[in-house]
Amino acid sequence: MSANPIDTVSTLRNTLAVMQTLPSDEARAMPAEFYTSEEFLNLEKDHVLRRDWMCIGHVGEVSNPGDFYTTEMLDEQLLVTRDTDGTIRVLSNVCRHRGNRVAEGSGNSRRFVCQYHTWSYDNTGALLSAPLIKNTPSFDKSKCALPEFASEIWNGWIFVNLDGQAKPLTPRLSGLQNIVNNYHPEERFLNFIEEDTWNCNWKCLFENFMEGYHLSTTHLETLHKITPTRLCKKMESGEGWTGYHAYYDPDYPPRGPFHKDLTEDEKINSPMYGIYPNLVVGMATNFTLFMCLRPNGVDKVNIRWGVTGLENDPDAQKVKDYIHLCKTFNAEDREKLEVLQVALKTRHFQGGPLAPDDYEGCIWDFIQYMAKHLATGPAE
Ligand code: FES
Ligand SMILES: [Fe+2]
C-alpha cells in the first residue's frame, strides 16, 4: 500500500468495498493502515463518529437533580446535567461569551460560572447573568444559552449525537433489547466508574472486546477459567449492534444471585455486545462491565469504563472482587493492544483470515458497519 495519505484513504475505502462483497466464511482482518492512518481517522470522525450515537457515560453518574459531569468527545467539550426537573441533558461546555470551558469535573450544582469573566448558566444551559454586558439589540440573554446536543438513553447508558441528524437509537436496538431483557440492565446500579487511556486505536479495542478468540490465550489465568473460547457462541446481530454469548465453564461456580426473570440458559452465559460505534458491554448475570471509547488520535483511546450491579452498594466485597477481576483482565488486554499498535506501523500487513463466527464474527460485523459508512461510494 502506498504511503501517500490520499492513496491510503482511497485504498482503505476500496478494501472496505471488497469486504462488502465477501461471504462471512472468507472474512478477513483489515490492513494495518485502517488502524494507523490519521487521514482515515478524519474520515471516520466526519462520516461515522459525529454522525452516529456515541456513548458518553451512565445515568448513575447523574442520579440526582443538579448532578453533573464533564467529558469531551472529538474535541467537543460536553457538560452532562440532570436538571432540577430530573431531565438529563448533554450541553456544550463552551461559554457563549468568548469560548472558555464553563464547568470542570463533576459534582452537584444549580449554576455554572465561567471562570473567565463570570457569565453564569443554570443546569438547563440558560444564561443567568453576564456582568456588565448591556441590554442592547445585539445582546439577547435568551439567545445565549449553552447549546444542547441530541441525546438518548438506552438501558442506563447516555448517548450523544454530535451532528444532530441521526435517527433514534432505540428502535435499531430492539433485537438486542430482546436478548438482554431478562438481565434487566436498566435496573442495575452504577457501582464504579473510571477514566483511562490506552495506547491503541479505538477500533482495536472495540474488536478485542468483541471477540472470544483470545479469551483462552490472552486470559489463560483469568477469563479462560470462567468463559473459555471453546464455549463462545455468536449472537444474532443487527443494524446497530453485534455480539456473542460467553458461556460459563460448567466447572466454574454459578454466578448468582440471579434476576428472577433469567432462564436456565441465560444463567450460564454473559451476553457480550458492542453498540456501534463506541460502546462495548460484557453483561454477566451479576455484574455488567462497560467501556465507552473516545478516540484520541490514531494510537490513543480514552476510555470511560464502569461496572453496574444488582445492588446499590459500591463498597460491597463482591463489587471490589469483580472490579479487581476487571482490572486484571483489562491489563492483559491492554498489554496486547499496545504491542499490536506498535506492530501495526508496518506497511506490510494486509490482514489475515478471521476465525469462525463464534470466535471472531463480531469483528466481521464491525468491519461491515464501517464499510457501510466508509466504503468507496457512500462517503463520496
Ligand atoms: S469566556 Fe466565559 S465569561 Fe468570558
Ligand atoms: Fe480480553
* Pocket of ligand 1 contains residue 129 by CB under 6 Å: no
* Pocket of ligand 1 contains residue 114 by CB under 6 Å: yes
- Residues of the chain with pLDDT > 90, as a percent, come to 94
- Nearest ligand, CA of residue 220? 2
Q: How far apart are CA 250 and CA 225, in angstroms?
A: 10
Cβ atoms of 88 and 79 closer than 8 Å: no
Query: 1 pLDDT band (50/70/90 cuts)?
Result: very low
Query: 5 pLDDT band (50/70/90 cuts)?
Result: confident
* Pocket of ligand 1 contains residue 97 by CB under 6 Å: yes
Residue that has been written with the C-alpha cell 480514552 in this structure: 302
Q: How far apart are CA 70 and CA 103, in angstroms?
A: 7
Model confidence pLDDT, tens digit, residues 79-101: 999 999 999 999 999 999 999 99
In one letter, which amino acid is 104?
Answer: E
Task: Give the ligand 1 atom nearest the CA of 117.
Answer: 3
Cα 116 to middle of ligand 1, angstroms = 5
Query: 3 pLDDT band (50/70/90 cuts)?
Result: low
Mean pLDDT value of segment 256-278: 96
Mean pLDDT value of segment 250-256: 92
Cα 158 to middle of ligand 1, angstroms = 28
* Pocket of ligand 1 contains residue 100 by CB under 6 Å: yes
Q: How far apart are CA 275 and CA 165, in angstroms?
A: 18
Of all protein residues, whose CA lies closest to atom 1 belonging to ligand 1? 98
Q: What angle do CA 208, 212, 216 make, to 5 degrees?
A: 105
Sheet holding 120-122, edge to edge: 111-113, 120-122, 127-129
Candidates 78, 74, 77; CA nearest to 89 is 78
pLDDT averaged over every residue in the chain: 96
Candidates 270, 266, 261; CA nearest to 288 is 270
Model confidence pLDDT, tens digit, residues 331-350: 999 999 999 999 999 988 98
Q: How far apart are CA 200 and CA 208, in angstroms?
A: 11
Model confidence pLDDT, tens digit, residues 144-190: 999 999 999 999 999 999 999 999 999 999 999 999 999 999 999 99
Query: 237 pLDDT band (50/70/90 cuts)?
Result: very high
Which grid cell is 171? Answer: 428502535
Q: Which residues have a Cβ under 8 Å from the Cβ of 28 and sit 6 or more positions away?
A: 19, 22, 351, 352, 353, 354
* Pocket of ligand 1 contains residue 184 by CB under 6 Å: no
pLDDT at 221 over 70: yes
All domains in the chain, ordered by first residue: 60-161 (2.102.10.10), 174-374 (3.90.380.10)
